[in-house]
Amino acid sequence: MANHITFIGAGNMASAIIGGLIDSGFSPSSITATSPDDAMLAPVRERLGIHTDTDNNAAVSQADVVVLAVKPQIMRQVCEAMRDSVQHQKPLIISIAAGLDADTIDAWLGGGNALVRCMPNTPSLVGYGASGLFANARVSAEQRDVATELMEAVGIVEWVEDEALLEAVTAVSGSAPAYFFLMFEAMEEAGVKLGLPAATARRLAIQTALGAATMAKQSDKDPATLKQNVMSPGGTTERAIAHLEEANLRGTMEEAMQACAKRAQEMAKELSTNN
């Protein structure tokens, strides 16, 4: 495992990963998070007990792993400003930015870096993250293990050998918590229209999703069979599923996920040329 990890950026995704790491036993004293605004750092410092710094270069100079966790739109400026300290320190770089390819980030950091691109998701905060990882040619087997260990501390890890597949990972898991949260909103709203108090509908819907996900994960049956097991012939579920199929839920999911992957591609083009 890494001796010291520095997170450049301390927003939603960095705090989710840091929170998950600490819950899984990683020492807060081995983690630093940065932001130019100390007011943003105070809550993570107080809540998580980690080191914080408003100076990215100072934070990089102590790290053997640097996680780039700023918005893609400011990544170039952030990377170029810490190029010298990265070149001096030569840490393993892990970028979690959507739509920014490994070569582009490596070039912004001066080139020659061992760089892992990771597409995590926010359930990392509760230890149920799902991350897709890609390593550039400079990443050693030991560094791969470090990246795996880091992200496995907050969930499951899938390596891809073709970087372009991270776009698919973004559609299937990176952005996907939001699809399920939308589903919870919709189920709560519909439950209220059917007469339930909002809080009751929300609790039932969320618990049901947790139960369904746990069953799907633990069972040796595929999701289609598990679905079939809920559907009594001529019963209530059959009617609901027929409605969802007629409304083309599958097609809608496919279109949404294609749009997600396409946006990752567009961001890669926009950010590598216009940034």
Ligand X SMILES: NC(=O)C1=CN([C@@H]2O[C@H](COP(=O)(O)OP(=O)(O)OC[C@H]3O[C@@H](n4cnc5c(N)ncnc54)[C@H](O)[C@@H]3O)[C@@H](O)[C@H]2O)C=CC1
Ligand Y SMILES: O=C(O)[C@@H]1CCC=N1
Contacts to ligand Y by CB under 6 A? 98, 170, 174-175
Nearer to ligand X, 37 or 162 (CB): 37
Q: How far is the CB of 121 from ligand Y (least distance, A)?
A: 7
Q: Which does 97 bind (CB under 5 to 8 A by kind): ligand Y, ligand X, none?
A: ligand X
Under the criterion CB under 6 A, does residue 78 sit at the interface with ligand X? Answer: yes
Nearer to ligand X, 87 or 229 (CB): 87
Nearer to ligand X, 92 or 119 (CB): 119
Q: How far is the CB of 224 from ligand X (least distance, A)?
A: 29
Report the C-alpha gap between 13 and 256 in whole angstroms. 22
Q: How far is the CB of 109 from ligand X (least distance, A)?
A: 14
Under the criterion CB under 6 A, does residue 11 sit at the interface with ligand X? Answer: yes
Give the β-pairing of 65-68 and 92-95. Answer: parallel
Residues that bind ligand X (CB under 6 A): 8-14, 34-37, 40, 56, 69-72, 74, 78, 96-98, 119-122, 174
